[in-house]
Chain A
Amino acid sequence: MSKKLTIVCSKDELIKVRQFTSDALDEESVPDLEAHKLVLAVDEVCANLIIHANNCDPINKIEFNIEFRPTQIMFTFKDKGVGFDINEYECPSMDKLVSTRRQGGLGLMLVKRIMDKIEFSTEKNHNICRLIKTYPL
């Protein structure tokens, strides 16, 4: 099964993405606690794309797709913003975050710990980010 949602680059759209993801995982009977983590990872990537890659510009759009495969769930984000490969992001230490009083830096740390694989590519003028969770969850 595959489901697709298109949103504009506004933080107000995050709730829509969470609801869409939560509904799709519920339909596939993903257990609640696991679904909560997957929704969180999707929310974090989406917030990153909206805020950092697209500067909260509502003219820009993000295409989001969830695909349920026999052995994995694949979440795909497609946008035309500033490309950024999460795999290249070096997570700061928690001590550093506390001492520098930074609020950012935890989101991609969460994504990396929740997902099994993250892929990033650029095709034509699109950036494609894929989050993969392999069964058993």
Chain B
Amino acid sequence: MTEINKENKEGIHLISVKGEIDAGSSILLDNAFKEAIENKEKRIATDLSGLEYISSAGLGVFISHLEEFSTNNAKLVLFGINESVKQVFEILGLEKLLLIVETEKDAINVFNE
């Protein structure tokens, strides 16, 4: 079961992901990012504290939108990643491409720097 919620919090577009993202459900995450791009969101934080599993299909969603975020001068920050999921990002070296912090407070601080 996958659940994706979107809200605006303190001027930040917050996307919260819960459950499992695999080849079948990655489209939900993709749609959330596409919507953020269409709405010209500049400060996007993704709460992954409820994410239990992510496969390459979900990781590919993050990677595929990086250029567009950069072109639009938008910043994407991920936070709350558990140890099991974090190791998956690290196997591919994605922690070098994506801005990943520990907590929501850390994410907010990134936008306020």
Contact = CB atoms under 8 A, between A and B. Distances in A.
Interface in A27-63: 32-33, 36-37, 39-40, 43-44, 47, 50-51
Given A11-B24, A14-B24, A47-B23, A110 B92 contact: yes
Interface stretch (A65-73, A79-87, A96-104): A96-104
B19 to A, nearest CB: 10
Given A98-B66, A101-B64, A44 B92 contact: no
Interface size class of A (residues with CB under 8 A): 20 to 34
The interface residues of chain B, by DSSP majority, are classed as helix
B46 to A, nearest CB: 16
B84 A32 contact: yes
A106 interface: yes
B23 A51 contact: yes
Contacts, number: 86
B87 interface: yes
B68 to A, nearest CB: 7
Given A15-B22, A51-B23, A37 B63 contact: no
Contact of B97 (A14, A94, A107): A94
A37 B91 contact: yes
A110 B88 contact: yes
Contacts of A74: none
Contacts of A99: 67
Contacts of B94: 94
Given A105-B60, A106-B60, A40 B88 contact: yes
A124 interface: no
A133 to B, nearest CB: 14
Nearest to B24: A11
Contacts of A103: 26, 30, 57, 60-61, 63-64
Given A51-B23, A94-B97, 4 more contacts: A37-B88, A40-B53, A101-B64, A104-B60
Interface of B: 20, 22-24, 26, 30, 53, 55-57, 59-61, 63-68, 83-84, 87-88, 91-94, 97
